[in-house]
Chains A and B, each alone.
Chain A
Amino acid sequence: MSAAKVAIVGAAETTALGRIPQMSQIQLHADAALNALTDAGLTLKDIDGVATAGESPTAVAHYLGIAPNWVDGTAVGGCSFMLHVRHAVAAIESGLCQCVLITHGESGRSNVGRAGWASSPGSLAGQFESPFGGMGPTTMFTLPVLRFLKDTGTTLEQLASVAVMQRQWAALNPRATLQEPTSVEAVLADRMIAYPFTKSQCCLVTDGGGALILVAAERAKDFPQAPVYILGSGESTETPMISQMQDLTRSRAFQMAGARAFETAGIQHRDVDHLMIYDAFAHLPLYGLEDLGFCERGEAGAFIASGQTAPGGILPLNTNGGGLSYMHSGMYGMYALQESVRQVRGTAAAKVAGVEISVCHGVGGMFGASGTVVMSASIAR
């Protein structure tokens, strides 16, 4: 049996999502943080640990007027927040701090006060990838998929079905950016971005933010919301260069982070009631289902296409609509975590009945890094 040492007692997104030109990026962090504090019944004075990515924890702590005893600026892309959760558990458990605030804010669409990034021409990616015309995630994150389709026998239609099934969840979510039903035919006929990915198979580009507050599990019942306990977690990295993946059809970081999370939580796949797999592009749920061990090799495409992850299916997946339909600011991991919290609390818009355990799996830097968090409604199992 494993017992959780730390719990999430506050969770919120920015007041608005989508297009927020009236807020700078740092203010998106603050807006989400203040909403999470309200959710937890806490004030800024209660926070003594700060973790963030995209901005420095120094900048966020200063902007919010927090004098932290502990900071974590782990920045490994969109799954950084999963790693922050894991590190916060260790920090609270070992007494480095008592109340951690994790923030995300990103002016991904409006570009207000947002720092850009590009590979330096002297980096390995700058030397050995950039000359060949890569244009960011749409051309790099997507590059492995043709090999995956061939080696696993997965079809283009099954890949397209990922977007279709997630739209079914988004249709149940008033905050989702895209809510209109779609079809495999419509997804495949949409504007081509980077073959074989059409626009419908690429994530949205929106503004938004989110924040989490974590404290020791023994205190967690003293807060207004039902605690969401952190039962286990895992993290790993592989490579910053898509061309240097060990195997284009598997993510080593997914496999390592996932296995570690299941092991530390002491759970089996059959225990999982709800699953989030970071979907910057439509192939990521396929990799996630197989690399985390929910599906055998080559079975994820048929699993999704047959409706098993859609509303009414046996494994509810990406129930906010995902990065494809809900929102995607650039570093989506925070929104996946927020949806897991809502499902465990029983407050999600598209509520899955009786969620005891939710697994939230993130990816960062285009298969570069990964983090997995296992959340539970109970302190032990």
Chain B
Amino acid sequence: MKIDFEQVTVPMPTPETEHFWSGCVAGELRLQRCDDCSGVYFPPRPFCPACGHQSVSILLASGKARLLSYVINHRPHPAFDGPYAIAVVELEEGVTMMANILNVPQTPEALILDMPLKVTFRPIRRGIVLPYFEPDGAVS
């Protein structure tokens, strides 16, 4: 699968998410952790969704994840050159996020649920860098 990064839908950071996107530019996957209950969460917001506490800190994710679920979209999309998987991955820290899985055939045979993944970053447009995932050979 090839991605035309010129055609990828560009996210628009908000004040609450800016740290995440600047983290991607720096090659860091930034989550948040509650200073009170220690709960780790995503997507970003300036308070803990578990307990409501308003003091939270940045937590750097390890970047390791597993493949939780996916579909392989067969309808044409301008950013993708053929059928492509849209996945939900679960990070080692417990949170989930959507992603594409790079450097692996986009087939049910190659995309095995629970396979180990690691984060990898790609620049798109307007200064935005997106987090993607790829198989983590070292772990398997």
Contacts and interface: CB of A to CB of B under 8 A. Distances in A.
Nearest to B88: A243
A122 B10 CA distance: 9
Given A121-B10, A143-B88, A147-B113, A131 B71 contact: no
B88 A194 contact: no
A133 B77 contact: yes
A189 interface: no
Nearest to B44: A124
B73 A146 contact: no
A134 interface: yes
Given A139-B86, A142-B71, A195-B72, A132 B77 contact: no
Nearest to B95: A244
B88 A248 contact: yes
Interface string A346-357: 000000000000
Contacts of B71: 139, 142-143, 145-146, 194-197
A132 B85 CA distance: 9
Contacts of A129: 98
Given A133-B86, A146-B70, A248-B68, A243 B96 contact: yes
Contacts of B124: 131
Nearest to A246: B96
A128 interface: yes
A51 to B, nearest CB: 30
Contact of A244 (B8, B43, B73): B43
Interface string B9-34: 11111100100010000000000000
B2 interface: no
Contact of B11 (A131, A144, A148, A241): A131
Interface string A111-132: 0000000001110101111111
Contact of A133 (B13, B14, B17, B73): B73
B73 A145 contact: no
B interface residue count range (under 10 / 10 to 19 / 20 to 34 / 35 or more) = 35 or more
A193 interface: yes
Interface in A214-260: 241-245, 248
B2 to A, nearest CB: 12
B44 to A, nearest CB: 8
Given A143-B88, A244-B96, A127 B43 contact: yes
A124 B41 CA distance: 14
A192 B86 contact: no
A146 B108 CA distance: 10
A52 interface: no
A130 B73 contact: no
Interface in B44-96: 68-75, 77, 79-80, 83-84, 86-88, 96
25 contacts: A121-B9, A121-B11, A122-B12, A122-B13, A122-B14, A127-B11, A127-B13, A131-B10, A133-B9, A133-B73, A139-B86, A140-B86, A145-B71, A146-B70, A146-B71, A147-B68, A147-B88, A150-B113, A192-B83, A195-B71, A196-B71, A241-B43, A242-B88, A244-B43, A248-B68
Interface of A: 120-122, 124, 126-135, 138-140, 142-148, 150, 191-197, 241-245, 248
Closest 3 CB pairs between A and B? A147-B69, A127-B11, A195-B72
Given A127-B11, A127-B12, A131-B8, 4 more contacts: A133-B100, A147-B69, A193-B75, A242-B88
